[in-house]
Structure 1
Amino acid sequence: MKLKYSMLINIILLITLLFVIYKGGLYYSLLNKLKPKSLAENNFQNTWEYQHNTKLYKFYTKQANIVMLGNSITYRVDWNELLNRNDIANRGIGNDITLGMLNRLDDVYRVNPKVCVVMGGINDILKGIETETIVLNIDTIIKELKTNNIKPIICSILYTSDTQKDYKKLNSLINEVNINLESICLTNDISFINLNESFSDNYTLKSQYSLDGIHLTASGYNQWKKILEPILNQEIEE
């Protein structure tokens, strides 16, 4: 009798344990599904790349006429070499979102530039951050730069290529942000560079400009150079 009772208790305990594990797994599964939208704006600073570069940029104080502010697309090229200049400071950080860029404006002010070229937002979209938030962050960046007598130049978010999962949905969101950014730039009388006019066909990034559907090839950077160079020269001279 005692043996049967003990076996029954063990079975009940086992069922209870399995139920707890199942519920816990379900909880964490739901948490992971919610994480990109609910926590993305709070955890971007936790990456090694973000922490390393933000600390490093505090030591970079050499005056620069131009600052390139953005994510990995900005970070992955030597802008002085590309544009044949010696007065550009690269302040891109891989995986950064627009809130991170806004929080890093002291790195821009530190080098006392005349112009700041801003390009960001793709990581926000990939993390599920609302388009309204992206637009608001970049609008705030524009206002802060102007308050500090720095001319903003805003580049559109590049479309993704058809190698990306759900690329049509992504590009629709990108287009929504870009339309709003262009309107803001018009209102503020600042330059908006619609890179997609040269980089895309049918709202899709051309394959020759990217190997992974997001980041640029050498040809992509050369195309960006051709578009950006005359605008920079004009803004610096004014």
Structure 2
Amino acid sequence: MNRVYLIKIFQIKINLKNNFFLGAILLLTPTYSEDFWTRAMRLHYEHRVSFFNSIKIKEGSKIFIGDSITEQCNWNELFNDALIVNRGIGGDITSGVFKRLNFLKDCKPSSIFLMIGTNNLGQGNNPKEIYKEYRQIVEKILELAPESDLYIQSILPINQKLFSMPRPNYTNDKINFLNSLLKKIEHNKVKYLDLNKYFQDVDGNLDKNFSSDGLHLNGLGYQNWKKYLQNKNIFKSVLSR
């Protein structure tokens, strides 16, 4: 009964100021929506970095660095290992990762898993330019954490059929070309992990079993990622528990 009463009062107030209220919506909504999402992304980024800076990472940790595809997984739970640390931030790009790498100089991680570049492609960046920035990231990681095992993880495929809106800059041709460049970085201190093929369907797209939106992974997708690392004998000491 109280709920019905409140709704009626709300409707009456809107009707009394109908013209002003609707005018305000038409005037403010487009600007507010754009500013809201830009601000939301910026604040999320700042809050994540602030949180990272407030935490001291234990020596010997395994660190995952990347964008939303990395951030959205609870890696320590996936592998049942408290020493796995998530340093993913949704929306991040290569230049953003480069700027926030200084935390590595004090924590002496045992291994680092890097996946970044999807959002660069989404912004229309040239794969060759992304590759140049990627090399800078790798060089800085090797400088800050020379004793760590560094794993470059290939960019995952996408499935445009699952996109909720057109995203013309995301194509598997660009992703495959970028991955072919990233593989060139591999040497005795840097290992390249070709996750891409492990997530493809028969047409080379991101398998719909692993994603609902064609870009990010669902639970089964992260389990598939875990299985890939198991098959590569990575985290052997953890997985043998």
Normalising by structure 1, report the TM-score: 0.74
1:47-126 equivalent positions in 2, closer than 5 A = 47-63=42-58, 64-126=60-122
- 8 Å Cα contact 1:153/1:193 also seen in 2: yes
Q: For 1:68 and 1:227, how far apart are their aligned partners in 2?
A: 15
> Quick one: which amino acid aligns to residue 156 of structure 1?
S
What's the offset of the Cα at 1:94? 0.4
The size of the alignment, in residue pairs, is 193
> Quick one: which amino acid aligns to residue 67 of structure 1?
I
Q: For 1:128 and 1:117, how far apart are their aligned partners in 2?
A: 25
Q: Which residue of 2 aligns with 1:199?
A: 199
Q: Which residue of 1 aligns with 2:124?
A: 128
Q: Do the aligned partners of residues 53 and 192 (structure 1) sit closer, same or farther apart at CA in structure 2, a change above 3 Å counting? A: same
1:220 matched to 2:221: yes
What's the offset of the Cα at 1:134? 1.2
Give the stretch that moved more between structures: 208-217 or 104-113: 104-113
Q: Which residue of 2 aligns with 1:21?
A: none
- 8 Å Cα contact 1:115/1:235 also seen in 2: no
What's the offset of the Cα at 1:62? 3.0
- 8 Å Cα contact 2:67/2:115 also seen in 1: yes
Bigger-Rg structure (1/2)? 1
Question: Per-residue displacement from partner, 1:142-195 (whole Å, max 9, x unpaired)?
Answer: 11222231221011101111324366961111111100011211x455221111
Q: Which residue of 1 aligns with 2:155?
A: 157
Q: Do the aligned partners of residues 234 and 134 (structure 1) sit closer, same or farther apart at CA in structure 2, a change above 3 Å counting? A: farther
- 8 Å Cα contact 2:150/2:189 also seen in 1: no
Q: Do the aligned partners of residues 208 and 70 (structure 1) sit closer, same or farther apart at CA in structure 2, a change above 3 Å counting? A: same
- 8 Å Cα contact 1:145/1:151 also seen in 2: no
Give the stretch that moved more between structures: 78-87 or 161-170: 161-170
- 8 Å Cα contact 2:158/2:170 also seen in 1: no
Q: Do the aligned partners of residues 139 and 176 (structure 1) sit closer, same or farther apart at CA in structure 2, a change above 3 Å counting? A: same
User: Does the residue aligned with 1:152 lie in a helix, a strand or coil?
Assistant: strand
Structure 2's unaligned 5+ residue stretches are: 1-37
- 8 Å Cα contact 1:67/1:115 also seen in 2: yes
Q: For 1:169 and 1:75, how far apart are their aligned partners in 2?
A: 20
- 8 Å Cα contact 2:152/2:191 also seen in 1: yes
Q: Which residue of 2 aligns with 1:170?
A: 171
Q: Do the aligned partners of residues 172 and 203 (structure 1) sit closer, same or farther apart at CA in structure 2, a change above 3 Å counting? A: same
- 8 Å Cα contact 1:91/1:108 also seen in 2: no
> Quick one: which amino acid aligns to residue 117 of structure 2?
G
Give the stretch that moved more between structures: 176-185 or 59-68: 59-68
What's the offset of the Cα at 1:112? 2.2
Q: Which residue of 1 aligns with 2:10?
A: none
Q: Do the aligned partners of residues 231 and 97 (structure 1) sit closer, same or farther apart at CA in structure 2, a change above 3 Å counting? A: farther
1:137 matched to 2:133: yes
What's the offset of the Cα at 1:140? 1.4
CA RMSD of aligned residues (A): 2.5
- 8 Å Cα contact 1:160/1:167 also seen in 2: no
Question: Per-residue displacement from partner, 1:27-71 (whole Å, max 9, x unpaired)?
Answer: xxxxxxxxxxxxxxxx99x71111111111101103152110000
- 8 Å Cα contact 2:120/2:130 also seen in 1: yes
- Matched-pair identity in %: 30
What's the offset of the Cα at 1:86? 1.3
